[in-house]
Amino acid sequence: MTQNGIVLVVSATIFKNDEVLIIKENKPIAVDQWNFPGGRIEFGEDILLAACREVKEETGLSVELLNSTGIYNFISSTGNQVILFHFTGEISAGTLNIEEEKIIDSRWVEISEILNFDNKELRNANVIKQIVNNLIDRNFHSINIVNPQLRNK
């Protein structure tokens, strides 16, 4: 969702055993750059449902969200202010099936390996590395931080 140059997005680190899933999107603004599955929140959409939807659209995987690593605020390469809600999750159903029109590659990697990537290989490298450091340090927050009154019903 974009309003007044502010873009609201979600992304998720999907765990499988000791590895996490990274993807390369087929977008001119992110050519040959790795990222976590994610995308824009649609108008009126629940943030947690948006994260699950984006993962499913990009990977074919259904996920159960477990935690959040935080909310990240940065200026994108296109000059928009981005507010990113990042979550962790695990596969609840499906098999990896990337839609080649949107995603050109995917890999399962050890989380610490991402810190060795050159910044040019990562989309919004500073943010990705902040997320990775939070993952390594297990600096997690409850997903109930998002709409807690809705989660308790």
Segment 60-106, tens digit of pLDDT: 999 999 999 999 999 988 899 999 999 999 999 999 998 777 889 99
Work out whether the CA dihedral 41, 44, 48, 50 comes out positive or negative: negative
| Both tokens assigned to 17 | 């055993």
How far is residue 113 from each of residues 16, 95, 124, 136, measured CA to CA in Å?
A: 15, 23, 17, 11
| Both tokens assigned to 153 | 């019903």
pTM tops 0.85, yes or no? yes
Q: Are 23 and 57 in contact (CB under 8 A)?
A: no
Residue 129 half-sphere exposure toward CB, CA atoms < 13 A: 11
